[in-house]
Structure 1
């Protein structure tokens, strides 16, 4: 889902690490993110485009144009056993215009992202999960709701204080600054990147909202990030795809994150983060009413909370290095998101897994990945489902009026990614779904997947 942005982030991270290593009088190898999943951009299908790309580069315009498709097939189990092949795809253009070369302002740049998504084929919605409960995962993480072209971000940025302080402002997205220590390579959503999107108050990748952010390098390894962003529930709507309006805003978001890039573990690269997200926008309680009882029968409706929070953390650490190639090795990752369960139906979510880059000598650029995630549903959400069953006098799961009471869900995925050419990757995978949507009555499911990535 965020492949192009991750490539851009990886390039910036490697450039910063290289500069840092030049400034330090040490024999420690430079921080290199290849084994962690942050590979630099490769030569694209179109090459230098008859000399056009080098001209752009010489004038400070850098871009990545990529294609992504994701196919899922319910091989067995799930809520609906009827077989279905679900297919989605997207084109993503991520670009930046260097302004420093024209203005002399340190690191000044205009940055943008445009994403075109296609098809309304969602296997999770159609086959895997009971439609009477809220989703806890997606088999195709890039599913974006039918065909649409959106502005992901358009921002101005620059640095101060000898490049220790970096400032960004404009119509932005969280992936530009926050919770970017784990790449989005798995096809299941819960294993794709970090957990901060589960706050349900800001949005990933191709949805923009107004804001400004600051990153300050406390040390060469430790960065403090913060900002003020618009909290707008209407941001993902189709009408807001290209809008610069703040209509529908409910309040502000204030994220604070510490990110540590280090080589403290056997001189191998690792990146760690800890963040909290606060908003003053009103949030509706999932169970309690204004009068104190269940909101479903309260004449004044559900209780409103004047603020909410979300905590997220994780790490991505390389643990082995191939003796002949520093870009091959094993890494482990972990992520956790903890929410205010009064207003967020996912109380906590967590994921862990391993990746190996270059497992076979004959395939040094291939990847092997294995991950497992868990989502625990909110007590308030469960209590509301139980109370709705009392109101409708529904006790049988097969009754259409019954509201399933979700507990927890577990999703696992195994993939192998073939680097077919420098510009094309094929990634077959196998997913296992346990209690999809948190509903124990739903049969465990097996899903076969195929992800295709093309770089132009």
Structure 2
């Protein structure tokens, strides 16, 4: 009830503010028009005019609700609701200041709510994936983006710098899955102590070389400040204490194939972190004998397989992803997923979408050995003992199917079913069957 009342007050506040800013009661797109891309309409035509002049606003809301129908660590049926607000602006500085090929982006986010995954997993160990991807990284306000991007040599080279998130540029694709294991930025999901995905920002940037309209190479450099994760530090900008830097390198190919110009998105990347971490294989008598730098690689392969009726906005696409992390310092050493996404499956619903995916997240064997050795050293071997460390070993598997209903041009509703096998990669925790629903609204 508290979250619902907060939501209503926030929506009302945003609505009043935006309508006052328009200075007009009427709009080219009236508020709540199904054809408008924005729930609050076009502000009497002022919004479209501002975009033409180089000023674009984003106000969006994402809600994810989930309920465990059966299984999990806590097997009583539970439902949890979490959400994210985003408030942003994009400035075309070429139009505004005559700065050739230059853009500025500022975004503030707020996450709220509770996570059903906490009830699915053993609380002594936590889980691997999440059935509500929008939850996490602290339920707090954050300055998520504050960067400038400048193109040089007719956009052959791009330089971007400021407060950035790694996954907005590297290992990126636009996913509608509610389970965390199927979105973009998977390299950061399984190495989140080094690679900071949305909404956690850090000082950094990247240089991108566009060899052709389809082929690019980019290199990033990101400051590693763990306190960026902390609740209440969303606007802390001093970058201390700095522990090191993350450097990702990515080669990408984004072709349009065949007569139907079928869209592809192929990315291969490698990252290195100068921050050292415990070497799990060196664990003995309650301490680690070595620490090492971290590194890893990833693949993202996305391709539209066919178009429907010659319309490449409709059709079936396949997405395959893989991540490999070092075996010394990473808890999850490898990950794979495969997904199929069918856009516009019905002639009467050309903007709806169906998605189905399967993912595997594997726990580093050396991490599992460390847990077993810790239990032996503590003289605990009973899973039901509160001091026992549950053994995370092998893999957790996540499955999801969803239907995205394009209700209006500003709202989508997305019911889904998820199955989590071996939650947290702990054999004693029963598989969980979860139902969820996502709503996204652009104001």
**Structure 2 residue corresponding to 1:284, chosen from 257, 278, 286:** 278
How far the C-alpha of 1:285 sits from its partner, in A, is 2.1
Does structure 2 retain, via aligned residues, the 8 Å contact 1:72–1:86? yes
How far residue 103 of structure 1 moved from its aligned partner, in angstroms, is 3.4
Corresponding residue for residue 140 of structure 1: 132
Q: CA deviation at 1:229?
A: 1.2
CA separation in 2, counterparts of 1:384 and 1:265?
52
Q: Which runs of 5+ in 2 are unaligned?
A: 1-34
1:324 is displaced (CA, Å) by 5.0
Residue of structure 2 in register with 1:437 after alignment: 424
SS in 1 for 2:226: coil
* Deviation of the 1:327 alpha carbon: 1.4
1:80 equivalent in structure 2: 74
Report the CA distance between 1:104 and its aligned residue: 2.9
Q: Deviations over 1:323-369 (max 9, x none)?
A: 15331100000111111121110011111110001111111111100
Indicate whether 1:54 and 2:41 are aligned.
no
* Residue number in structure 2 paired with 1:109: 103
Preserved contact between residue 320 and residue 331 of structure 1 (Cα < 8 Å): yes
The partner residue of 1:318 within 294, 304, 313 is: 304
TM-score, structure 2 normalization = 0.88
Q: Do 1:312 and 1:338's aligned partners in 2 also have CA atoms closer than 8 Å?
A: yes
- Whole-Å Cα distance in 1 between the matches of residues 203 and 245 of structure 2? 10
Show the counterpart of 2:365: 379
Provide the rounded CA distance (Å) in 2 between the counterparts of 1:420 and 1:171. 34
Residue 297 (1) aligns with residue 295 (2): no
SS at match of 2:357: strand
Moved more, 336-345 or 53-62: 53-62
Q: Distance in 1 between matches of 2:289 and 2:43?
A: 58
Matched-pair contact (CA < 8 Å) for 2:170–2:185:
no
Q: Note closer, same or farther for the CA distance 1:79–1:420 as it changes in structure 2 (3 Å cut).
A: same
Contact 1:194 1:335 (C-alpha < 8 Å) held by counterparts: no
Structure 1 residues 226 and 199: alpha-carbon distance in aligned structure 2, compared to 1, 3 A threshold:
same
Aligned to 2:184: 193
Where 2:51 maps in the other structure, the secondary structure is helix
Q: Do the aligned residues in 2 keep the contact of 1:225 with 1:256 (CA within 8 Å)? A: yes
Is the 2:262–2:312 contact (alpha carbons within 8 Å) kept by the matching residues of 1?
Answer: no
Moved over 6 A (4+): none
1:133-282 counterparts in 2 under 5 A?
Answer: 133-144=125-136, 147-180=139-172, 182-197=173-188, 198-200=190-192, 201-264=194-257, 267-282=261-276
Question: Offset at 1:265?
Answer: 6.5
Contact kept? 1:194, 1:314, Cα under 8 Å: no
The gaps in structure 1 that reach 5 residues or longer are 1-40
Classify the secondary structure of the residue corresponding to 1:414. Answer: strand
The CA distance in 1 between the partners of 2:36 and 2:353, in whole Å, is: 16
Whether 1:397 aligns to 2:383 is yes
Work out whether 1:451 is the aligned partner of 2:438: yes
Distance between the aligned counterparts of 1:265 and 1:377, measured in 2? 41
Aligned match of 2:355:
369
Match of 2:330 in 1: 344
Give 1:53 shift.
Answer: 1.2
Distance 1:145 1:162, change over 3 A: closer
CA contact (8 A) 1:113 1:206 kept: no
Q: Give the Cα–Cα distance (whole angstroms) in 2 for the partners of residues 393 and 42 of structure 1.
A: 64
SS in 2 for 1:50: helix
Between the two proteins, the alignment pairs up a number of residues equal to 405
TM-score between both structures, scaled by the size of structure 1: 0.85
